[in-house]
Structure 1
Amino acid sequence: MELQELIDRAEITDAITRYTLSVDEGDFDRLDTVFTPDAHIDYTESGGVVDTFPVVKAWLAEALPGFSKHRLHTVGQIDFAFASGDEADVTAYFHNPMRISDGKGGERVVEVGGLYRHHFVRTADGWRSDRLHEQVVWTRGF
């Protein structure tokens, strides 16, 4: 493996980490450092929307406060397939537990596990995802 590929892998992994932190912390403007302005994002398998990044970013800011502000999802194995020096298909395992109201004054935990399927491109600002499909493999507690 060449040094540049190792650097690219690290930068893409950093972008995926910024994604999870942005979503978990509700810092949706930070997602601008993860996605291209015209990125296509598909959350339909988890009950969300499919649209361009600006529309999905606004939807996240509306939808996620319905869950507890204490969100903490993790990313596991990451697979990289570089199509060229400037493009990569990247798949990352994820586990996303969240707390929601139980309707009785308390909370319950719901979970989603699956694969984030990104297409990353190298831009002047670094690696950015221009496509994300959240593939749900399992859920619990809904």
Structure 2
Amino acid sequence: MSPELQALADRLALQDLVIAYANAIDRRDFDALDHVFTADAYIDYRAMGGIDGPYPTIKAWLPEALGHFPGYMHLTGNAAFTIDGETARGRVACFNPMVVPLPEGGHDTLFLGLWYVDDYRRTAAGWRISRRSEEKSYDFNVPSWMKAAIGG
């Protein structure tokens, strides 16, 4: 494959990887994340109120953390990738509306804006995220019980 075609194939594979992450989270199919992250990946969700740690710790934490929300969606875009052989770096925008239950009953929706800042590694099974951190841009309509966690 020519270098130009390889670069295009790599960018498409990285874009597909970012989409696979969003779809796995939004479907609550946390086992699908095994095809997104390397086994030794480090993930830092603290900028938006989460935790950080090795991938197995984060995978175990996600169902509990996201179980508070009856609905959410990750819309990703503005992906910028820098590929250097078998590794790459990326910055991906994410718009994340989340449905939250209200203490008095009913639901409301909050909105989070963030960037994923990623390191990627090419593996025998394809590209995988080896490190992911979040960079906060904004939040809107965050309930008081969440404000302290995300610094809103």
SS of the residue aligned with 2:73? coil
Aligned to 2:121: 121
* Conserved 8 A contact 1:76-1:94: yes
| 1:108-130 CA distance string (max 9 Å, x none) | 11111011111001000100000
1:47-58 → structure 2 map (5 Å cutoff): 47-58=49-60
RMSD across aligned C-alpha pairs, in angstroms? 0.9
Aligned match of 1:37? 39
Q: Which amino acid aligns with 1:42?
A: D
Describe the SS at the equivalent of 1:23.
helix
Name the structure 1 match of 2:16.
Answer: 14
The number of residues matched between the two structures is 140
Larger Rg: 2
> Which residue of structure 2 aligns with residue 25 of structure 1?
27
Deviations 1:94-119 (A, max 9, x none): 10001011111100111110111110
What is the CA–CA distance in structure 1 between the aligned matches of 2:76 and 2:101, rounded to whole Å? 25
SS state at 1:93 partner? strand
Query: 1:81: how far off?
Result: 1.0
Q: What residue in structure 1 maps to residue 146 of structure 2?
A: none
Question: Aligned equivalents of 1:73 and 1:108: distance in 2?
Answer: 17
- The alpha-carbon deviation at position 22 of structure 1 amounts to 0.7
**Structure 2: gaps of 5 or more residues:** 143-152
Percent of pairs with identical residues:
38
Match of 2:79 in 1: 78
TM-score, scaled relative to structure 2: 0.89
Counterpart in the other structure of 1:138: 138
Query: What secondary structure does 1:2 align onto?
Result: helix
**TM-score when scaled to structure 1?**
0.96
Find the aligned partners of 2:139 and 2:45 in 1 and give their Cα distance. 14
Structure 1 equivalent of residue 111 of structure 2? 111
**Moved >2 Å (runs of 4+):** none
Query: CA–CA distance in 1 between the matches of 2:7 and 2:49?
Result: 35
Query: Where in structure 1 are there 5+ consecutive unaligned residues?
Result: none
Kept after mapping to 2: 8 A contact 1:25/1:71:
no
